[in-house]
Amino acid sequence: MKANVTSAEPSIPYEESVGRHVSRSELPADVQAKIERNRQAALERRAKHQRRIDSERAIAQEFGEIHPSQAAASSSSAPGSSRDSGAGFLTSAIIEKNAAALHKAMEEVEPLPKHEWTKFYDYDLSNMKDTRAGFIQEIKDDDKNRDFEDENSKKRKRESAVAQPDPSIFLGADDNYECQDCTSYDVDFQLLRYFHIPVCIGCRDTQPEKYSLLTKTECRADYLLTDPELRDTDLFSFWERPNPKKSTWNNMMLYLRCQVEEFAFKKWGGPEGLDKEFEKREREKEARKEAKFKKELRDLRNKTRTSVWQDKRMQQRPKVHKHNFGTALVDPESGTSVQTCVECGIQVECEEF
Whether 51 maps to a domain, the answer reads: yes
In a domain, 352, yes or no: yes
How do residues 190-246 score in pLDDT, each as one tens digit? 888 889 888 998 999 999 999 999 999 999 999 999 999 998 888 889 998 888 888
Does 229 fall in a domain? no
What pLDDT, on the 0 to 100 scale, is given for residue 267? 92
pLDDT (mean) for 144-169: 58
Confidence band for 258, pLDDT divided at 50, 70 and 90: very high
Q: Which uninterrupted H or E stretch holds 349?
A: strand 347-350
Which of 67, 96, 125 is where one domain is finished?
96
CA 343, 344, 348, 350: dihedral to nearest 10 degrees?
A: 0
In the listed set 96, 120, 150, which residue is the last one of a domain according to the structure? 96
225 found inside a domain: no
Rounded (5°) CA angle 227-282-255: 30
Phi, psi of 342 (to 5 degrees): -70, -30
Domain annotation covers residue 48: yes
Domain that holds residue 35: 14-96
> Residue 152: inside a domain, yes or no?
no
Contacts 24+ apart (CB under 8 A), 148-153: 153/250, 153/251
Cα 267 from Cα 271, distance rounded (Å): 10
Q: What is the pTM of this model?
A: 0.41
pLDDT of res. 310: 76
Q: Which 8-state DSSP code applies to residue 177? A: -
Element (H, E) at 136: strand 136-138
| 137 in a structural domain | no
Dump pLDDT digits (tens) for 265-279.
Answer: 999 999 999 999 999
Most confident of 89-93, 114-118, 339-343: 339-343
* Whole-number Cα distances in Å, 47 to 33, 78, 88, 195, 229: 21, 14, 21, 94, 87
Residue 47 lies in a domain: yes
- Amino acid identity of residue 312, one-letter, is K
Number of domains, the chain: 2
Q: Of 96, 113, 140, which residue sits at a domain end?
A: 96
